[in-house]
Amino acid sequence: NQADGGIHNWTPQLDQWARTGWQFNQFLANHRTTEEGLFALLTGHNPLTMPGQASVYARALDSQATLPGTLRRHGFHTAFLTSGDLGFMDKGDWLRRVGFDEIEGHDAPFYDGHPRHHFSAVNDDTLYDRSLQWLREQGPHKTFLTIETVSTHQPFQDPLTRKISIEGAFRYADAALGRFIHQLKASGLLDNSRLIVTSDHRA
């Protein structure tokens, strides 16, 4: 069946891998922006701004009670890797406050010399290559890694053709994710791990 790609079958790789694990058919991404979606996913709180706050990132919270903060207290090394700009809305500072030990954005040395797209981001394949490198560097230690991709963000530019195409952007992202999961599986990195794939918002 076409679990996620809809009637046009835009995500065959995600659909195939979903059939090998658990799929939550009634799970909804939180709110309308990445900012609000990440807040909900990583803190477990409703992503609403308080009076006088311009951003949900400004909300006070107990870092010990967030997902990365809780895992860190239990001996995990926590990291957040993205190809996006961590300076936007002070996201990097917020990620540190919620409990990530290590944070990397679009300016990581690994991405030097790679083609850039919107938000000065590299494509998903390059982000996944860095993520694989990072995971291998950790060895047998307990780790919690969050990877935030950018290739399916508006204006929906297909990184391969450089053309604006919603279908092209999502087909590319699906193929890149499929390759990444296959590499994780083939390298044994999934043997004692859990992989969770979710969107961060639904707009």
List pLDDT tens digits, range 102-150.
999 999 999 999 999 988 899 999 999 999 999 999 988 899 999 999 9
pLDDT reported for residue 32: 78
* Helix, strand or coil, per DSSP, at residue 82: strand
189-197 contacts at long range (C-beta below 8 A, 24 or more positions apart) = 189/132, 189/135, 189/136, 195/21, 197/14, 197/17
Rounded to whole angstroms, the Cα distance separating 172 from 175 reads 5
pTM of the entire predicted model: 0.91
